[in-house]
Amino acid sequence: MTKIEKVSIIDIVGYGNNKIKKLCSDYKQAKKVLGEIVAEKLFAALNFIESASTLNDIACFPTYRLHQLSGNKKDLFAMDLGRKLGYRLIIKPDPPLNPEADKLDFNSKCSIVRCIVVLEVSNHYE
């Protein structure tokens, strides 16, 4: 008898507010607020996040162009929901990365993140 190992996946452990939670859990609401194309991209990204084992799996997938933000948002990451659409998903590791993580390269930071909070879905260019 073989032992089946549990594959760890990224958990979405929270949302920035109830509006974001509703957008990310109710396709009909997302379609109404964001439009059909952006809603489809949002739900595809959320499904991809939930099937990834760490944030590094997402970083290695160029479609979402995962990147760490800078300045006063340096503890946050953004995922493109379509470069031409201009929408992005802002996520925060939970717990936040500790100060020692600043010394790590991007892929190493991403490989330790297994829980995230979805903070916002926004049009980056508005």
Using one digit for the tens of pLDDT, what is the confidence trace for 68-115?
898 888 889 999 998 788 899 999 988 887 777 778 888 888 888 888
List b or e across 88-126, with b for residues whose CB sees 16 or more CB atoms inside 10 angstroms. Answer: bbbbbbeeebeeeeeeeeeeebbbebbebbbbbbbeeee
pLDDT at 6 over 50: no
Q: CA distances (Å), 11 to each of 14, 31, 80, 123, in order? A: 9, 24, 19, 24
Residue 74 CA neighbour count, 13 Å, CB half: 7
pLDDT of residue 8: 59
- Compute the distance between CA of residue 5 and CA of residue 87 in angstroms, rounded to an integer: 37
Return the CATH fold of 11-123: YaeB-like fold (3.30.2310)
Element (H, E) at 32: helix 27-34
Kindly report, residue by residue over 7-62, the tens digit of the pLDDT: 557 888 999 999 999 999 999 999 999 999 999 999 999 999 999 988 889 999 99
Q: What angle do CA 26, 32, 38 make, to 5 degrees?
A: 80
